[in-house]
């Protein structure tokens, strides 16, 4: 009722205003139309969607003179009523929207869901926290200073990327690697992710070297990119532990059948080992059923309760790794981290490789695959895949140390999958016997 009272008051004021304006004459109105005007329809424009049509003469006084005023009053009342209704509905809609948003925010808070923040948000938050710790600025000054600092940082990044762009897209891997390492020390992790978007500006091999050697956000971003698409391999990977000798030996293993695991040679045939899954944590007992000293590999058999999904071995009659082939090393740390690294075959059928296998003297190995993939400590036994997703080797030795300038390169060695096929035949013969 109060709203209608206000509308009535406004309508009355509009009547007085229209009357006064009309009576004021030419002093406050545009020049009147000519006194002598042909008879016929005349149209007056009033607020939208309202048109009044008058028939007859428009000159002179009388009812024809007041009709435009009355029409304007009616239109004003209609417009005021509509505005009041629209404002009320708008206020209700806004209140409903606000209530819905608050409910949504409460729901998110209660469920513990946190939206991903953009790199800009992360940078702003870091800048704010640093200013709060080290300055006595007000919150408004902190906000302004933080935004200015982040903006300037973005400008410097753009300049840096422009400076190194030709090198980043170079087909010369050494040039590309130098540029990538130079840029990664200064840019945000999101920039590293953009390098790999849509096939990537930089090679996976150089991303692997960045992940292995750099620290901080750049390294983590590179590793995240490399791991994409490989989570499906995790259930096939296990950690093999041998505590029989009094000191624990450990290696990575992977299923090549549902109950047979290929791994690094850390036990004798018939020896008991523990097969461990870091995530979710569980373990079963296994037994070495075949070994190859020349390949530093063995097979472990588990009972059916310990079975896992097997990986595909390259066929025995296939050529195996070919020089220059793209290869991927999938590593599982004892803490359960999946670390995927990519490189290429830098040598095949490599002989006279000497490795330290825990004894006093190094062991000579022949017929190995050499790669430039950096590997982590303690992940011997990890599978090496070709570009088709078949296992072509088992990691027996490796290093992640290398020079960014290419003076020294990471070298990893893998026993070829043909050795694992031979072990499978040995295990099958032992079972049939």
Q: Residue 384 and residue 333: Cα distance in Å, rounded?
A: 15
Q: Residue 163 and residue 148: Cα distance in Å, rounded?
A: 23
Q: Assign 85 a pLDDT band (cuts: 50, 70, 90).
A: very low
pLDDT tops 60 at residue 95: no
Residue 245 lies in a domain: yes
Residue 108 lies in a domain: no
- Cis before 280? omega within 30: yes
Are 168 and 213 in the same domain? yes
Are 375 and 419 in the same domain? yes
pLDDT of residue 355: 85
pLDDT tops 90 at residue 291: yes
Least confident of 32-46, 70-84, 161-175, 379-393: 32-46
pLDDT tops 50 at residue 10: no
pLDDT of residue 48: 40
Report the b/e string of 380-406 with b at 16+ CB within 10 A: bbbbbbbeeebbbbbbbbbebebebee
The chain-wide mean pLDDT, for the chain, equals: 74
Average pLDDT value for residue range 350-378: 87
pLDDT tops 90 at residue 69: no
Are 245 and 219 in the same domain? no
pLDDT of residue 339: 95
pLDDT of residue 181: 80
- Which residue's structure tokens are 């059948």? 257
Q: Which residue has the higher pLDDT, 7 or 178?
A: 178
Other CB atoms within 10 A of residue 264 CB: 25
Average pLDDT value for residue range 314-332: 86
213-241 confidence digits (pLDDT tens)? 766 778 888 888 899 889 999 999 999 99
Residues 300, 320 contacting (CB under 8 angstroms): no
Q: Assign 6 a pLDDT band (cuts: 50, 70, 90).
A: very low
pTM for the model = 0.64
Q: Residue 208 and residue 375: Cα distance in Å, rounded?
A: 10
- Which residue's structure tokens are 């791991």? 227
For a pLDDT cut of 90, what percent of the chain falls above it? 33
Are 218 and 154 in the same domain? yes
Residue 130 lies in a domain: no
pLDDT tops 60 at residue 23: no
pLDDT of residue 309: 95
- Ranges 82-96, 276-290, 305-319, most confident: 276-290
pLDDT of residue 196: 67
Are 335 and 410 in the same domain? yes
Q: How many domains does the chain have?
A: 4
Q: Residue 53 and residue 65: Cα distance in Å, rounded?
A: 13
Q: Assign 36 a pLDDT band (cuts: 50, 70, 90).
A: very low
pLDDT of residue 119: 66
What are the strands, taking DSSP E only, across 303-428? 326-332, 338-350, 353-355, 363-365, 368-371, 383-385, 391-398, 412-416
Are 76 and 21 in the same domain? yes
287 Cβ contact list (under 8 Å, min separation 6):
270, 271, 272, 273, 300, 301
Residue after which a domain boundary falls, among 282, 309, 336: 309
pLDDT tops 50 at residue 15: no
Residue after which a domain boundary falls, among 160, 193, 227: 227
237-271 confidence digits (pLDDT tens)? 999 999 876 678 899 999 999 999 999 999 999 99
Are 330 and 407 in the same domain? yes
Average pLDDT value for residue range 172-191: 78
Measured in whole angstroms, the distance separating CA 144 from the mean position of its chain's CA atoms is 29
Average pLDDT value for residue range 323-328: 92
Range of the structural domain that residue 343 is part of: 326-424
Residue 198 lies in a domain: yes
Least confident of 7-21, 151-165, 300-314: 7-21
What are the strands, taking DSSP E only, across 256-382? 260-264, 272-277, 282-292, 297-302, 326-332, 338-350, 353-355, 363-365, 368-371
pLDDT of residue 215: 66
374-403 confidence digits (pLDDT tens)? 898 889 999 999 999 999 999 999 875 555
Residue 125 lies in a domain: no
Q: Residue 322 and residue 345: Cα distance in Å, rounded?
A: 7
Q: Assign 293 a pLDDT band (cuts: 50, 70, 90).
A: very high
Q: Assign 89 a pLDDT band (cuts: 50, 70, 90).
A: low
Are 343 and 386 in the same domain? yes
pLDDT of residue 188: 72
Residue 114 lies in a domain: no
pLDDT of residue 187: 74
pLDDT of residue 361: 83
DSSP SS3 for 294 = coil
67: left (phi over 0), alpha (psi -120 to 50) or beta: alpha
Residue 106 lies in a domain: no
Average pLDDT value for residue range 178-191: 77
Residue 96 lies in a domain: no
Are 203 and 290 in the same domain? no
pLDDT tops 60 at residue 39: no
Residue after which a domain boundary falls, among 197, 227, 257: 227
Are 249 and 211 in the same domain? no
Are 252 and 213 in the same domain? no
Are 194 and 263 in the same domain? no
């Amino acid at each position: 009722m109060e709203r209608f009272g206000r509308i009535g008051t406004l309508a009355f004021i509009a009547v007085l205003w229209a009357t006064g304006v009309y009576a004021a004459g030419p002093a406050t109105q545009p020049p009147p139309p000519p006194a002598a005007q042909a008879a016929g329809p005349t149209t007056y424009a009033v607020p939208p969607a309202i048109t009044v049509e008058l028939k007859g003469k428009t000159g002179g006084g009388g009812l024809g003179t007041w009709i435009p005023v009355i029409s304007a009053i009616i239109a004003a009342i209609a417009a005021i009523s509509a505005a009041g209704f629209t404002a009320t509905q708008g206020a209700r809609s806004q209140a409903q929207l606000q209530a819905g948003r608050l409910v949504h925010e409460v729901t998110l808070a209660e469920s513990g869901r946190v939206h991903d923040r953009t790199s800009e948000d992360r940078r702003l938050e870091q800048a704010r926290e640093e200013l709060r710790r080290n300055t006595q600025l007000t919150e408004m000054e902190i906000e302004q200073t933080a935004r200015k600092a982040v903006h300037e940082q973005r400008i410097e990044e753009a300049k840096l990327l422009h400076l190194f762009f030709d090198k980043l897209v170079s087909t010369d891997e050494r040039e590309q690697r130098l540029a990538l390492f130079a840029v990664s020390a200064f840019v945000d992790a999101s920039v590293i992710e953009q390098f790999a978007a849509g096939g990537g500006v930089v090679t996976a091999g150089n991303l692997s070297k960045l992940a292995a050697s750099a620290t901080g956000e750049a390294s983590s971003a590179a590793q995240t990119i490399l791991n994409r698409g490989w989570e499906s391999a995790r259930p096939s990977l296990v950690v093999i532990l041998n505590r029989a000798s009094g000191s624990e030996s450990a290696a990575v293993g992977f299923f090549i059948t549902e109950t047979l695991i290929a791994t690094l040679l850390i036990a004798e045939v018939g020896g008991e080992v523990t097969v461990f899954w870091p995530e979710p944590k569980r373990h079963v007992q296994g037994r070495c059923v075949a070994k190859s000293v020349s390949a530093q590999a063995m097979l472990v058999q588990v009972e059916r309760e310990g079975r896992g999904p097997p990986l595909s071995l390259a066929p025995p009659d296939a050529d195996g790794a070919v020089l220059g082939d793209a290869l991927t090393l999938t590593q599982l740390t004892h803490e359960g981290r999946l670390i995927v690294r990519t490189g290429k075959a830098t040598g095949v059928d490599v002989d006279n490789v000497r490795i330290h296998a825990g004894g006093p003297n190094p062991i000579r190995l022949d017929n190995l695959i050499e790669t430039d993939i950096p590997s982590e400590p303690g992940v011997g036994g990890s599978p090496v895949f070709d570009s088709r997703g078949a296992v072509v080797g088992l990691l027996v030795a490796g290093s992640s140390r290398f020079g960014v300038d290419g003076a020294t390169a990471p070298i990893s060695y893998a026993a070829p999958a043909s050795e694992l096929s031979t072990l499978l035949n040995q295990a099958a013969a032992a079972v049939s016997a």
